[in-house]
Structure 1
Amino acid sequence: MKPLTVSYIRNIFGGELIQGSDDEVVSHGAYRLKQVKSQNTILFLKEKIVNWDHLKAFFPLVLVTHNVIKHYEQINNLTVIKVQNIDEAYWKFVHHYRSLFQIPVIAVTGTAGKSTTKEMIKHILSGNKTVTATTITNNSRTAHLHYLLSIDDHTEAAVFETAVGAPGDILNAGEYFKPSIGIITNIGAHHLNYCKTLEAYISAKGEMAKILDQSGVLILNSEDENSKKIDLINFQGRIIKVGKDSSCHFKARNIQYDNDGMQFNVKFKKKKYPIFVPGFGEHQVYNALAAIAAVHEIGVTIPEAANRLKTFKKFNKQLQVFEGLNGSTVLDDTWSITTTSLEAALQVLNDVGKTKKRVAILGTITDLGSWGNIIHEQAGEIINRLGVDVLITIGMHAQIMADHAVKCGLNAEVYTFNNNILVYDLLKKIVDKNTIILIKGDMYSEPIIELAAKIRKKE
């Protein structure tokens, strides 16, 4: 955070100094008690503090409150600013702080690929710029203030994930970040426990267009069907399309699997540029296209971006290739699971395992609410369409995938289990050096995580 004095901050929202010093310097911000982790934090707090003891390690502290400060709360190294409306004061502070920095800010959302695309952008820009960004996949709404305040006078660009758990999430993120470039990687069917319908989920992702002003740039996946349904009637900025279609501004050509990555050409304004990106699958090509389009908007040439992408490090447990049980090959994709990422993973299984027996071990898709049965059935349709030789599911809801895939006509050996112990016993019997195993599930699914560790060869 750019250090600011209490006097400066009070002038933003007209607060009254109750105790402490106007010369105190603030270097951190919070609006919840558990967010206070450093000294010299400004805390915007609605509720009263009952116990000060756990906060004293973080003094000096600046408290902004609308509550009456009693005598016993007048503690050394505590500065108190009294305001009439705590929400109004907080947002005036947020908006003012963001206005201090005229830098490119990129916001990335999507059902799958947003973390990877964000990390690619960060990696490319970090070659010659000071960049701040969301940490790995930590894109919680409660972290927006922390990420906004990570911008300071040395920051030259920022890239933030804007996840959707419910309608309004991206609008909320926009209030903090005010991005100049927005990216929607794709839109599947996820988080329907709060969005309720696919249409509402598409609309929630489409909020990205609403948080960009008329000079903003929106980058879209040209081939993603749900992204085509976003209402862009009132969007006054520029749209950049990426994909394989001839209408795209950044077009991928000659896509091929290479050594632990994808080789392709980007066609832009009648010129072709060779690109290599670590990580298997065409979805990785789309991630790279979006990243290249974004950094190009802020002055990075395509050859410069291509050179940086060569050294990009893909995420742990995202289609990582390992030697596995009985000499088999393991594709560990246990970071997350949606129908969108499942389709991408199964396509990689088919492409990489053309000459091998293909085994898919799949866990439950979470955050679906009442849509659980429907989405798992859609997953079953994807499995049937792309095909596997052996399908294994773990968990009661995951079994819906298997049952529906069989109903759709899947020609494969199918096994359904409730625990990973029986799966491991089965795998010991049916896999060998001519087998490739895709194991895919949620990072919070202990049975899937434990099984993935067991079937990988110990290094």
Structure 2
Amino acid sequence: MKTLLLENILTAMNIRPNQKQKGIRIKKVTYDRYDISSHTLYFRWNNREVPVERIKNYKNVYIVTDSPFSNQEKLNPDQIILVKNLKDSFFQFTSYYRHLFNIPVVAITGTCGKSTTKEMLKHILKETYNVQATISSKNADYYNLPYLMGIDENTDVAVFETAVSKKGDMTESCKYFYPTVGIMTMIDVDHTDKIRSFENYLAEKAKIMQGMNNEGILILNSDDPHLSSIDTSKFNGEIITFGKNKNAIFRMKKFQYHSSGMAFWMEYKKKEYKGYIPGLGDYTVYNAVAALAAAAILGVDIDYALKRLSSFHHMSSHFQIIEGRNQITLVDDTWKSNPASLRKGLETLSRIEMPSQRKIAVLGRMAALGKYADEEYEKAGHLIAASGVDILITKGSIAKDFEKPAIKAGVKPQNVYHFSDADEIKRFFDSFLRPNDLVYFKTGGDDSDFDEVIDYLRR
């Protein structure tokens, strides 16, 4: 974070500082009361209890609040900044801080591919640029302020994921980051437990354009039918497309599967490029080309960017291939499970060929589907059969919903198993697995049982 003067922050929030509040340096801004230390400005959300006794041990701590709190009389009155509307004051601050820096900010959204595209773009840039970026897949709204405060005078470019799990998420994220470049990877059913309809979920994602003030550069997957349906008529910036579509500006011409990565051919401005990216799956190439498009917009030479991508280290638990014991192969794809990511995982699984190989899918639940759950489990069951899965194992009561449609679509009933915990799966695998078996793991959400089984089967 850039060190700020309290008087400048207060002025940005339309508050006139008093004489005692002038000349005070602020080195940390937080809404986490456990993160308070000296020279901190603390925004008190949700009327949380203020740790007054601890604050008394620090120097220059100021609390922004819209209501009184217990024991506030023990603090110096100048430390308490009372505002009419805390949310308005907070976003006046984020706007002030963000606009201290005239740098490109890339915001990435989509149902799948956000984290990987972000990591690829970060990898391309970080050798020659100072990059502030989202960490791993930690893209919940709680992290937005720390990510924003990570921008300082040395930052050249910022790359953030803008996730949507409920109404208002996109608009709020953009009020932190004010992106100049937006990327939309692909859209499918997700988070429809809180956003009740898919149409509203799509509309929420599309608000990235409003968050960019309908300016800047928007990078869109032209092969995605849902993205093709969004209204871009009010967007006054430049739209850059990528995909197989012959009219795509970054046109993907051919993919080729290798043992642990993808070769691909891409055309841009009538010139053809060949690249290689570690990680399997057509979607891996889509993510790579989205990252290449953003890098090119930021002024990076494409040949250089392709060379950087060839050394990209694929993200953990994102179709991660692991050598198992007794000549088995494990695929850890447990980072997330929604209809799109499961479909892409199973399609990639179907492209892997090894001699005398049985393909075993160990599936947990898909998360956050709301009213679309029955329909999506039905579709997934048919996809399991179409993908050539020989053995289906479900874990947990909700995942059992994969079984009937999978059997109906052609998976043999005697090859379908259901277990409730890791110990049951481990005992089963002890006697069931054979050399050359390929075991694919997929679940939606944190499920330590999957981690336990994968660790158990590692070489």
Tell me, yes or no, whether TM beats 0.5: yes
| Counterpart in the other structure of 1:415 | 417
State how far apart, in whole Å, the 1-side matches of 2:188 and 2:436 are.
33
Distance in 1, Cα, partners of 2:418 & 2:71: 65
Summarize the Cα distance change of 1:385–1:48 in structure 2 as closer, same or farther, 3 Å threshold: closer
Q: Give the alignment of 1:17-416 within 5 angstroms.
A: 17=17, 20-34=20-34, 36-45=35-44, 47=47, 49=49, 51-56=51-56, 59-67=59-67, 73-75=73-75, 79-353=79-353, 355=355, 356-410=357-411, 413-416=415-418
CA separation of 1:79 and 1:455: change in aligned 2, threshold 3 A: same
**SS of equivalent residue, structure 2 residue 232:** coil
Output one character per residue of 1:186-229: Cα deviation in whole Å (capped at 9) or x when no partner.
11211111111111111122222222234321111222222223
Name the aligned partner's letter for residue 44 of structure 1: F
3-state secondary structure, aligned to 2:375: helix
- Kindly indicate whether the alpha-carbon contact (under 8 Å) linking 2:363 and 2:441 is maintained by their aligned counterparts in 1: yes
Alpha-carbon distance in structure 1 between the residues aligned to 2:354 and 2:226: 30
Counterparts of 2:78 and 2:452, CA distance in 1: 48
The offset of 1:233, in angstroms, is 2.9
* Residue 160 of structure 1: how far off its partner (Å): 0.4
1:154-212 per-position Cα deviation (integer Å, ceiling 9, x unaligned): 11100000001112211111111111111111112111111111111111222222222
Where structure 1 has 5 or more consecutive residues not aligned to the other structure, the ranges are none
Cα pair distance change 1:78/1:303, threshold 3 Å:
farther
CA drift of 1:78 comes to: 7.4
Pick the aligned partner of 1:424 from 416, 423, 426. Answer: 426
Greater shift, 59-68 or 361-370, is seen at 59-68
Counterpart of 2:436 (choices 434, 437, 443) is: 434
Structure-2 change in CA distance of 1:374 and 1:20 (3 Å)? farther
**CA distance in 2: counterparts of 1:100 and 1:114, whole angstroms:** 26
- In structure 2, the CA distance between the partners of 1:277 and 1:89, relative to structure 1 (3 Å rule), is same
The equivalent position to 1:447 in structure 2, one of 440, 449, 452, is: 449
Taking a change above 3 Å as real, the CA distance of residues 84 and 424 of structure 1, as seen in their structure-2 partners, is closer
Summarize the Cα distance change of 1:310–1:367 in structure 2 as closer, same or farther, 3 Å threshold.
same
What code does the residue aligned with 1:226 have? H
Contact 1:42 1:63 in 2 (8 A): yes
Separation of aligned partners in 2, 1:56 and 1:344: 54
SS of structure 1 residue aligned to 2:194: helix
Question: Contact (CA 8 Å) 1:27, 1:40: kept in 2 or not?
Answer: yes
Letter in 2 for 1:120: M
- Mapped to 2, the partners of 1:105 and 1:72 lie a distance apart of 39
Separation of aligned partners in 2, 1:433 and 1:50: 59
C-alpha spacing 1:244/1:58, structure 2 compared with 1 (3 Å) = farther
Q: Which moved more, 1:302-311 or 1:319-328?
A: 319-328
Distance (whole Å) between structure 1 residues aligned to residue 122 and residue 231 of structure 2 = 29
Name whichever of 412-421 and 267-276 sits farther off. 412-421
The alignment partner of 1:226 has SS state of helix
Using the TM superposition, give the Cα deviation of residue 341 of structure 1 relative to its aligned residue in structure 2, in angstroms: 1.2
Q: Could you tell me the TM-score, scaled by structure 1's length?
A: 0.92
Residue 347 of structure 1 and its aligned partner are, at CA, apart by: 1.9
- Secondary structure of the equivalent of 1:81? strand
CA offset at residue 58 of structure 1?
A: 5.1
* Structure 2: tracts of 5 or more residues without a match: none
Q: Please list the CA deviations of residues 83-106 of structure 1 after superposition, one character each: whole Å capped at 9, or x if unmatched.
A: 344333222211111221111100
Residue deviations 1:322-356, cap 9 Å, x none?
A: 22243211111121111111112112212123532
Q: How far apart are 1:370 and its partner, in Å? A: 4.0
Q: 1:381 to 1:201 in 2, by over 3 A?
A: farther
Aligned residues: 456
Q: Is the 8 A contact 1:360 1:439 kept in 2?
A: yes
* Matching residue's letter, 2:458: R
Greater Cα shift, 83-92 or 163-172: 83-92
| Distance apart, 1:444 and its partner CA | 0.7
Q: Residue 26 of structure 1 contacts residue 42 of structure 1 at CA under 8 Å; is this kept in 2?
A: yes
Partner Cα separation in structure 2 for residue 58 and residue 454 of structure 1 = 48
Maintained 8 Å contact 2:50/2:69: no
- Secondary structure of 2:193 counterpart: helix
CA distances 1:278-335 after superposition (whole Å, capped 9, x unpaired): 1111111000010000111110111111111122111112222222243211111121
Q: Aligned equivalents of 1:380 and 1:132: distance in 2?
A: 41
Distance 1:48 1:284, change over 3 A: closer
Contact kept in structure 2, 1:111 and 1:190, CA below 8 Å: yes
The answer to which of 195-204 and 408-417 deviates more is 408-417
The alpha-carbon distance between structure 1 residues 55 and 257, as it changes in their structure 2 partners (threshold 3 A), is farther
Task: Give the fraction of aligned pairs with identical amino acids, expressed as a percent.
Answer: 34
Q: What's the RMSD between the two structures over aligned residues?
A: 2.3
1:10 pairs with 2:10: yes
Amino acid at match of 1:379: A
Normalised by the length of structure 2, the TM-score is: 0.92
Q: Alpha carbons of 1:50 and 1:391: their partners in 2 closer, same or farther (altered >3 Å)?
A: closer
The whole-number CA distance in structure 2 between the counterparts of 1:295 and 1:315 is 19
Query: Equivalent residue of 1:194, what SS?
Result: coil
More moved, 338-347 vs 78-87: 78-87
Distance in 2, matches of 1:318 and 1:68, equals 47
The letter for the 2-side match of 1:199 is E
Q: How big is the shift at 1:77?
A: 11
Counterpart AA for 1:209: M
